[in-house]
């Protein structure tokens, strides 16, 4: 399997992880990725980047089968409101393409909030920074790489 920058960062920091590859499948959505990897979709997360009206950027990591509640997300980062970043702005801002965005290894470190459900799992799975590749890591191990908090973020 090809190593991604995320995997190289994890290796460099000596953080244990498991890598997953679904590049040879037709999976596109997060739920499809969870299905082809035979994983619980509640344990597979997607990385979403938002912006505030003031030009601030925030990263949210939520289960793939859930939808980000923008009001809860704004509250979690102390903003009145936020909106999803336009897809064409993702690569220049983060270094990642839509569908391959990881909270690890972005061009710049943004305030990151992970859905509180992640804390219930010994490991979570998310993009390894390239479409077709995922990493599985303990949520607490992420703290060694990115400062993050937990909050309720999804539409109920």
pLDDT at 55: 87
Q: How confident is the model at residue 23 (pLDDT cuts 50, 70, 90)?
A: confident
Q: Give the start-to-end residue ranges of the domains of the chain.
A: 5-151
Instruction: Give the CATH H-level superfamily of domain 5-151.
Output: YbaK/aminoacyl-tRNA synthetase-associated domain (3.90.960.10)
pLDDT at 14 (0 to 100) = 95
Q: How far apart are CA 142 and CA 54, in angstroms?
A: 28
In tens, the pLDDT along 139-148 reads 989 988 998 9
- Tell me the pLDDT tens digit for each residue of 82-128: 999 999 999 999 999 999 999 999 999 999 999 999 999 999 999 99
pTM for the structure as a whole: 0.95
Q: Which residue from 44, 43, 50, 17 is spatially nearest to 29, judged by alpha carbons?
A: 44
């Amino acid at each position: 399997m090809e190593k991604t920058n995320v995997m190289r960062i994890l290796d460099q920091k000596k953080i244990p992880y498991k890598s997953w590859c679904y590049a040879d499948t037709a999976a596109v959505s997060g739920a499809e990725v969870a299905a082809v990897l035979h994983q619980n979709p509640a344990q597979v997360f997607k990385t979403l980047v938002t912006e505030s009206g003031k030009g601030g950027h925030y990263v949210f990591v939520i289960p793939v089968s859930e939808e980000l509640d923008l009001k809860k997300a704004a509250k979690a980062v102390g903003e009145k409101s936020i909106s999803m970043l336009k897809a064409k702005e993702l690569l220049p801002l983060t270094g990642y393409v839509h569908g391959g965005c990881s909270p690890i290894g972005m061009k710049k470190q943004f305030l990151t909030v992970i859905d509180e459900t992640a804390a219930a799992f010994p490991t979570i799975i998310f993009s390894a920074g390239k479409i077709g590749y995922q990493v599985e890591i303990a949520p607490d191990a992420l703290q060694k790489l990115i400062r993050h908090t937990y909050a309720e973020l999804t539409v109920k």
